[in-house]
Amino acid sequence: MTATTSRPVGKRLTLGSFLGSGFLWLYALIAIAPLVLMVLNSFRTMPEMAKSPLGLPLEPSLTSYQKAWITADFQTYFFNSIFVTVASVLLSTAVSLLAAYAFARTKSRIFTLLEGTFLSGLMLPVYLAILPLFFLLDSLGMVSNLWSLILVYAALGIPFSTFVLTGFFRQLPIELDEAAKLDGAGSFTTFLRVHLPLVRPAIATVIVFRFVPVWNDFFYPLILIRDQKAYTLPVGITRFFGEYQTDWATLFAGLTLATIPLVVLFLLATKQIVSGLTAGMSK
């Protein structure tokens, strides 16, 4: 009895809780094992893998990374992806901030209508309109140009970004605007100097949340990018998988390279990701 008094009632170690934590660990293994194998095998060589598919990289080799990065041109794909993702997320966030501020600080039917139109983009499968988009960009001579991806992704980010940011701007008290106005600030100065610093957490959420789908997107570059020099990572990977079919170590290295920025982002912004994924539940 004395031994258990320190534990709150109902938190005793029962068979049920033992099985429960066993299940948590087992699923953790199922979720992480393929990713761990991907990283481990990227440091091994093909003969090692053929001998034992599940071994540890006892003599870690970086040859496969060198091959993927230089010979298979991952450096080009990687920097294209970085450029497209960063530029489109920044552009999308900037225009969404301006629009969200207007939605939160006006009351007129036209703005309600516009806000609703933007919001509908959250549920519409807009990727199905790829043909007219392709012809439009083609007529502008922008097919295979990274800016076509940047502009499309920036537009695709508007529904989610304005939705999150408008909610934040609405929470800021109107007295802030009045005080700024009394100090002689115009509406743009008020937005820039007073509101923007206050919605910084929301900006972080929006940036993190748009980064992931843009970085991972495969559909748009598959159709809009026809020149190998302008491939982003996902399209680059499909080509690479055709060419290096039998060179597993290099394939694993390529997959790992495409995943690293996301893991770095996740570790830097776990809080934003966990709270952002569950944001819809706080209503």
Partner 1 sequence: MPVTKTRRSRHTGITLSRRAGMVFVLPALILFVIFILYPLVTALSYSLFDWTGIVRGDFSVLDNYVTIFTQLPYKDAIPNAFVHNILLFVGAMVFQNTIGLGLAVLLHRVRRFKRFFQTVYTLPYLVSPLVVGYLWSLMLSPLFGPVNAILKGVGLDALAQPWLGNPTTAIWVVVFVTAWQWVGFPVLLYGAALGGIPDEIDEAASLDGASSWQRFRDITGPLLLPAIGTVSVLTFIGAMEAFAIPYALGGSAGNPAGATDVLSLLFYRTAFESGSSNAIGTSSAIATLLFLFIFGVALLMTWLMRRAERRLY
* 3 lies in the site for partner 1, by CB under 8 A: no
Dist CA 279 CA 131 (whole Å): 34
Cβ-in-10-Å burial (0-12, 13-18, 19+) of 214 comes to: buried
Q: Least distance to partner 1 from the beta carbon of 84, Å? A: 14
Interaction pattern, residues 136-175, with partner 1; x per rule: CB under 8 A: x--------------xx-xxx-x---x-----------x-
Applying CB under 8 A, which of residues 15, 58, 116, 125 lies at the interface with partner 1? 125
Q: Least distance to partner 1 from the beta carbon of 173, Å? A: 10
**Which residues between 234 and 273 bind partner 1 (CB under 8 A)?**
234, 237-238, 241, 248, 251-252, 255, 258-259, 262-263, 266, 270, 273
**Which residues between 59 and 88 bind partner 1 (CB under 8 A)?**
none
- Region of 58-66, 70-78, 93-101, 197-205 interacting with partner 1 (CB under 8 A): 93-101
Nearer to partner 1, 89 or 255 (CB): 255
Applying CB under 8 A, which of residues 12, 52, 197, 227 lies at the interface with partner 1? 52
Applying CB under 8 A, which of residues 13, 27, 60, 228 lies at the interface with partner 1? 27
In order, the DSSP letters of the chain are -TTTTTSPTT-S--HHHHHHHHHHHHHHHHHHHHHHHHHHHHTS-HHHHHH-TT---SS---HHHHIIIIIT-HHHHHHHHHHHHHHHHHHHHHHHHHHHHHHHT---HHHHHHHHHHHHTTTS-GGGGHHHHHHHHHHTT-TT-HHHHHHHHHHHHHHHHHHHHHHHHHHS-HHHHHHHHHTT--HHHIIIIIIHHHTHHHHHHHHHHHHHHHHH--HHHHHH--SGGG--HHHHHHHHHHHSTT-HHHHHHHHHHHHHHHHHHHHHSHHHHHHHHTGGGG-
Q: Least distance to partner 1 from the beta carbon of 66, Å? A: 20
Nearer to partner 1, 58 or 128 (CB): 128
Q: Least distance to partner 1 from the beta carbon of 20, Å? A: 5
Q: Are 85 and 214 in contact (CB under 8 A)?
A: yes
Q: Least distance to partner 1 from the beta carbon of 60, Å? A: 18
* 126 lies in the site for partner 1, by CB under 8 A: yes
**Which residues between 184 and 203 bind partner 1 (CB under 8 A)?**
187, 190-191
* 278 lies in the site for partner 1, by CB under 8 A: yes
